[in-house]
Amino acid sequence: MPWHINDSEITPEAVFKDRRNIVKALGLGAVGASMPSAAQADIFDLFSKDKEKKKFVTQPLAFTKDTNYAKDEIVTPYNKVTTHNNFYEFGTSKKAPAQNSQEFQVEPWSLVIDGEVERPITLGYDDFTKLMELEQRTYRMRCVEAWSMVIPWLGFPLATLLKRAGVTSKGKYVAFETLHDPEQMPGQKNRFLGGGIHYPYVEGLTISEAMNDLTFMAVGLYGKSLPPQNGAPIRLVVPWKYGFKSIKSVVRIRVTSQRPPTSWNQLAANEYGFYANVNPAVDHPRWSQASERRIAEGGLFSAKRIPTLPFNGYGDQVADLYRGLDLRKNF
Ligand code: MTE
């Protein structure tokens, strides 16, 4: 991905969070002092909104089944899973999502499943954990930038939702969409902070990929609800594809007859394909995909380099989906 923005170029967290400083810097405090008290209250309400916002708190979640799809690999520490992120809506550096998303409001939330389905469904925030039976799935996660993690997710198979909605015979693809809320997501307001992506972030799968049992809707990790930087309150996880397919903070899942557009493909079609299956034999135009750095304690460059596996090691479950397809052309 075009990581053209350095950490040092990103607006510091304080600029997003502490609007009081902006008030001071603009000298609005003095303006306020000469105003009638009601108007003064209004203007300060406006600027102190952030103060009233609840800090995000994760909640413990119960689950019924526990499957480890990463064999005996070491699970990535929680502090790494939640501080080394890609979530451009909150900034493009790896630390920005954790720094800039802690006041993200996810309640109320509404997730719509519609399009080519017999029974459109709308799920609210509580429905994800109360209507759906949660299971734990430990998966490898391979980013297209050649780093990887092992993460114990909590959630349910996407197929469970799609079956409840009843996909019609015209349903060939599934389109996903992230929340569009520039007030809460600074990257959506500012092209520079948001890495040039055209928001809302969108992704897509074929219907057979979406129905595969590995395709998962995650609502938590490490036994707790998802922190905002990992895609609260609900995100997709497709473990045999590069991480950019695993769209965060999803508000809409639409079954379609046509292949939907996808964000990274729109930005650079020669670098990011629709399929994006993990494939050590097909390099990114600017770097090799033959190996990856497995994130552990310590910095990225101390992380161990290991060989990348076709389909991220999930070939037994998914290779059949691509029989007869040229995976070099359909990267
Ligand atoms: N979803 C949205 N809405 N916005 C993003 O920027 N980044 C993607 C994906 N989902 C992204 C997103 C990329 S590039 C990766 S590698 C994964 O989220 C990272 O997930 P993680 O931060 O939970 O490890």
Cα distance between residue 107 and residue 306, in whole Å = 40
Q: What pLDDT digit, counting tens, does each position of 163-219 carry?
A: 999 999 999 999 999 999 999 999 999 888 999 999 999 999 999 999 999 999 999
Establish whether residue 89 lines the binding site of ligand 1, counting it when its CB lies within 6 angstroms of any ligand atom.
yes
Q: Going by CA atoms, what residue is nearest to atom 17 of ligand 1?
A: 243
Q: Which atom of ligand 1 is nearest to the CA of 81?
A: 24
Tell me the CATH number for domain 65-322: 3.90.420.10
Name residue, tokens 């998914």: 318
Q: What pLDDT digit, counting tens, does each position of 89-132 carry?
A: 999 999 999 999 999 999 999 999 999 999 999 999 999 999 99
pTM: 0.86
Q: Going by CA atoms, what residue is nearest to atom 4 of ligand 1?
A: 87
Cα distance between residue 160 and residue 71, in whole Å = 25
Q: Tell me which of 1-10, 56-65, 136-145, 322-331 is least confident.
A: 1-10
Q: Which amino acid is it at 269?
A: A
Task: Please compute, for residue 201, the number of CA atoms within 13 A of its CA located in the half-sphere on the CB side.
Answer: 27
Domain ranges of the chain: 15-52, 65-322
Establish whether residue 88 lines the binding site of ligand 1, counting it when its CB lies within 6 angstroms of any ligand atom.
yes
What confidence category does residue 330 fall into, taking pLDDT thresholds of 50, 70 and 90?
A: very high
Q: What are phi and psi of 245, to 5 degrees?
A: -70, -25
Helices (H), the chain: 13-17, 19-25, 28-33, 37-47, 49-52, 78-81, 96-100, 127-130, 158-165, 186-189, 207-211, 263-267, 315-318
C-alpha radius of gyration, the chain, whole number: 21
What's the 47 CA to ligand 1 centre distance in angstroms? 30
Task: Report CA-CA distances (Å) from 46 to 14, 20, 184.
Answer: 17, 10, 15
Q: Which atom of ligand 1 is nearest to the CA of 231?
A: 23
Q: Which atom of ligand 1 is nearest to the CA of 151?
A: 24
